[in-house]
Amino acid sequence: MDDISLVESFGTLSETINGLKKVGYTHDLNVKEDCLVCYQTSTSLSPDDFSIDKVYRFEGASDLEDEAVVYAISSSKFGIRGTLVNGYGVSFDEVTSKLIEKLKTHKDASVRIRANEATAQRPGGERLLSATLVEMDLNKFIEQVKNEKPWMEGDRNAVTVFKSDSMRIVLMGLHENAELKAHKAKGVISVQLLEGKIEFVTADHKSVLVKGQMIALQKNIIHSVTALSDSFFLLTLALEGNS
């Protein structure tokens, strides 16, 4: 496969995923036990079948976890370029040691991006995230999310509306059919739907939420979210102490 020179930063998490697609990393990769799987081509990649071309790490990004990770991966053997989002951080318990070590090898050399108050799309950085009292105009935030590039050109966008050592609240928007792939959170979470319709799935339960409904989930339970229509919801993550 031809070499591709990857930039150090595409911007936010959504912009990075979309930017990688534009330069040829078009396949979605998933972790499955001892390999990576591309469901689009029905291909399984063992640790020896692929290379990690670049790793982008996001601290404080608008995601379910404290840290999101995007791997740019290529396989000369199968002619595949794609992205793995969150990697071993999400599915650690289900991955073999050989695959974990392959992913961990690139941890220290990854590009670390801080995306809290000031980002490429929100350069002001004056927004209050934590104080004795923080007021949040959710209708205003929804309009902001809708008017930003990641929402207009991608399948999602989000904004952190509150952040402290023990709690984070994120307003997240997903276009129809967009998915938060299976993962687990480090603390108790709640999801409150403000607009649209989503499907929330765990290993033994499936819930469909509509406007005005919410769900709570204990920590370390693997789950996924799929938007059944354009949707906006509040995700609250409660952490124990300063973990």
Digit-coded pLDDT (tens) for 51-77: 999 988 765 444 444 467 889 999 999
Among the listed residues 145, 139, 140, 144, the one whose alpha carbon sits nearest the alpha carbon of residue 174: 145
Digit-coded pLDDT (tens) for 46-55: 999 999 999 8
81 vs 74: CA distance, rounded Å: 4
Long-range contacts of 123-130 (CB under 8 A, 24+ apart): 129/160, 129/161, 129/162, 129/163, 130/162, 130/163, 130/164
- Ramachandran quadrant class, 96 (left: phi over 0; alpha: psi -120 to 50; beta: rest): beta
**Domains assigned to the chain:** 13-114 (no CATH), 138-238 (2.60.120.10)
Q: Is the CB of residue 157 less than 8 Å from the CB of residue 150? A: yes
pLDDT at 14 over 90: no
pLDDT at 115 over 50: no
Q: Is the CB of residue 7 less than 8 Å from the CB of residue 15? A: no
Distance between alpha carbon 35 and the CA centroid of its chain, in Å?
20
Digit-coded pLDDT (tens) for 152-200: 988 999 988 888 878 889 999 999 999 998 998 889 999 999 999 999 9
- Ramachandran quadrant class, 185 (left: phi over 0; alpha: psi -120 to 50; beta: rest): beta
Residue 165's pLDDT is what? 79
The residue length of the chain stands at 243
Q: What pTM was estimated for this model as a whole?
A: 0.57
pLDDT at 141 over 70: yes
Residue 95's pLDDT is what? 60
